[in-house]
Structure 1
Amino acid sequence: MTEKIGALLVTFNPNLPKLKENLKRILNQVSEVVIIDNGSANIVAIKKLTIQLEVKLLELEKNLGIAGAQNRGFEYFFKNKFQWVLTLDQDTAIPADTVAKMRASKKFNDHSTGILAMKYYDPNWKKTQIERVTKKQKEAETLKWRIISSGNLVRTAVWNLVGGFDEWLFIDQVDFDFDAKVILAGYKIWQVNNLIMEHEIGKSIRKPLLTTLLLFKPNEFILDHSPMREYYIARNTIVCSKRYASHPQLREFKTNLFHEAIMTRKILLYQKPRMKKILAAWSGIADGVKYNPETDKKFGEFKRQIQK
């Protein structure tokens, strides 16, 4: 029996022409495409587009974050007995043969595979950065411990086993937290190396003199974020370190509080309001310090589930 594959795309105030083009790339590759909208201001235009392309739209009443939106989509696909879901962001442009190549991978039918991923590059990157990613590799697949959430073919049974995405995390580290749970549940994450998608992660800040004065490397990749994002980045980085750094295969999660604190100097490179962003980051650090995984009921449920 051919396994059913769906595609889940999360939107939040998307660029409509780009969204349309990205949807066209996936429509003929899967059995069904579902858009989960996270409270976009241009929802009327999104509705018109989904009707035009015959794509299912699940409209959320408010912004639930990337974790909440993805969970609503997976709930739909799991209920309708899809075995795999391809997760996409609104800024992700995948190759026309993505699903075919993932099916052709020897890891697709391996029952220990929880996620199949692909390589990516940001069109805003420097030429040398893009060339480094697009360089051909000898291995057909590479075992990974951490991947971004977009461009992943996720086994729905594994999503269900680990309790889905952590909605408390809201946005940052949601993907890495999920990756860690998949690994701890005994599954593997494989990157299919002959697949490369275009994915925008944001435009980097280019202030050479100030970058040097703040003791960052000249080619340091720094992105401007809102105060809300700075809070979640700081808090969730520490939270995930506390959850996973003690596990031998997940030591890369380990973070240093002093390092996190001094890294907030990068906000001096941002656009205004800088002080508000700095305060948000420090608030995130403080809440991360207070977090205790031993008293986290949902995380405790996950640990009990995988120990059964």
Structure 2
Amino acid sequence: MIGAVIVTYNPSIALLSKNINAVTYQVDKLLIVDNGSENIKDIESLSEKFRFEIIRFGVNLGIAKALNKGMEFFDLKKYEWVLTLDQDSVVEKNTVKKLTELDEFNQPKTAILAARFIDKKQSYSHHEQHVVENLYTITSGGLVRILAWKKVQGFDEQLFIDNIDNDFNQRLSGVGYRVMQANQVTFQHSLGDPVNSRPTLQKLLGIKKGLSPTDHSSFRQYYISRNGIIMAKRYFKPSFIQILRVIANTRQIFLFSSPIEKIVSAYKGIYDGLRYNTARDVYFQKYLKSKKSIKVNINEKKD
């Protein structure tokens, strides 16, 4: 059976309704995990119409915590796959059917089989019409195999909001699973608000022409910087090159609204990221110690 989980936090009710309406008839059960939305009553009204369950946190515990709660919910009900969705994503008709009909869906090493997102706010697009391995597949719009999720200890809750997908994908790949993206299956999703075109400032900042940075809140900027450095320390060797990239990327914040506030948040994140030590990270060390046995089990299943 296939379930779907949508994580919400003060969502646009109109867009969430569109999201729910698009997915609810494609899966066996829909669950919403809410991170303390102020408009929870409106979300509850939608549940009366669409007949889905809600888990309420009451406060914002982060996307990773909410996703893990959703996966646990379906694991207890003996589901095998879960479609994970952000509140502002809208899948197309028969998205789940199209994904489950692909050969990759039945391959035991496939941990994630994702649709390709289209961001209408961005000018770029990709046109490959085949299934590819993509470790940068976003969380939203992907079918996640519950067994694989359990093997790598789920989503890392200390990351809270940013790079959760990239970290999860890296750990899956590290034990031999595959993260696949079906480019021929698409859905609508927004990565953030694009900044207004300011070519002169962009040139002075050394940002390549054609790149479209997306604006995020000060709260999010902290996690973008901190978690970017955590990712560098976990998965890049040597890590200092990637760390320098994370620091250099903060220059694009000067293109955003309220840049001073956001740059301060970003550098707080950099400071905390530089203090992070993989050797003292109990969660990550447990994963590293279990890698060998997990790989053996996966290979045994394949044989």
Looking at structure 2, the residues matched to 92 and 254 of structure 1 have their Cα atoms a distance apart, in angstroms, of 35
2:255 alignment partner in structure 1:
269
Separation of aligned partners in 2, 1:304 and 1:51: 46
Given that 1:237 and 1:255 are in contact with CA atoms closer than 8 Å, whether structure 2 keeps it comes out as: no
Matched-pair identity in %: 37
Offset at 1:149? 0.5
Match of 1:291 in 2: 276
Residue aligning to 2:137: 147
What residue in structure 2 maps to residue 57 of structure 1?
A: 54
Contact 2:232–2:243 (8 Å) recurs in 1: no
How big is the shift at 1:212?
2.3
Q: Would the aligned equivalents of 1:11 and 1:35 in 2 still touch at CA under 8 Å? A: yes
| Equivalent position to 1:229, from 176, 197, 220 | 220
Deviation at 1:136, TM superposition (A): 4.7
Per-residue CA distance 1:168-208 (angstroms, 9 max, x = gap): 00011011000011111211111112201110111211223
Instruction: Give, in whole Å, the separation in 1 of the partners of 2:222 and 2:265.
Output: 5
Conserved? CA contact 2:37–2:58, under 8 Å: no
Q: Aligned ranges for residues 1-308 of structure 1 at < 5 Å?
A: 4-126=1-123, 129-130=124-125, 133=126, 135-137=127-129, 140-206=130-196, 207-246=198-237, 255-272=241-258, 274-308=259-293
Q: Give, in whole Å, the separation in 2 of the partners of 1:182 and 1:19.
A: 29
1:14-46 deviation line (CA, Å, top 9, x unaligned)? 111111111111111110000111111111111
Instruction: Quote how far apart the aligned CAs of 1:268 are.
Output: 1.6
Distance 2:112 2:240 in 1: 23
Runs of 5+ consecutive residues of structure 1 not aligned to the other structure: none
**Structure 1 residues 86, 254: closer, same or farther in 2, change over 3 A?**
farther
Change (3 A) 1:42 1:298: same
Please give the TM-score of this superposition, normalised by the length of structure 2: 0.92
- Given that residues 122 and 212 in structure 2 are in contact (C-alpha distance below 8 angstroms), is that contact kept between their aligned partners in structure 1? no
Task: Decide whether the 8 Å contact of 2:7 with 2:32 is kept in 1.
Answer: yes
CA apart distance, 1:143 = 1.4
Question: Structure 1 residues 112 and 267, CA, compared in 2 at 3 Å: closer, same or farther?
Answer: same
TM-score, normalised with respect to structure 1: 0.90
Count, aligned residues? 292
Q: CA–CA distance in 1 between the matches of 2:204 and 2:43?
A: 44
Give the partner amino acid of 1:157.
L
| CA 124–41 in structure 1, closer or farther in 2 if over 3 Å, else same | same
Q: Tell whether the 8 Å contact from 1:19 to 1:90 is kept in structure 2 after alignment.
A: yes
**Aligned partners of 2:56, 2:185: CA distance in 1, in Å?**
31
Deviates more, 1:262-271 or 1:21-30: 262-271
Structure 1's consecutive aligned runs of 4 or more residues displaced over 4 angstroms after TM superposition are none
- Please state how far the C-alpha of 1:232 moved relative to its aligned partner: 0.7
**Ranges in structure 2 where 5+ consecutive residues have no aligned partner:** 294-303
Post-superposition offset of 1:95: 1.3
Instruction: Provide the C-alpha distance between the structure 1 equivalents of 2:261 and 2:111, rounded to a whole number of angstroms.
Output: 40
Residue 221 of structure 1 deviates from its aligned partner by 1.3
CA RMSD of aligned residues (A): 1.6
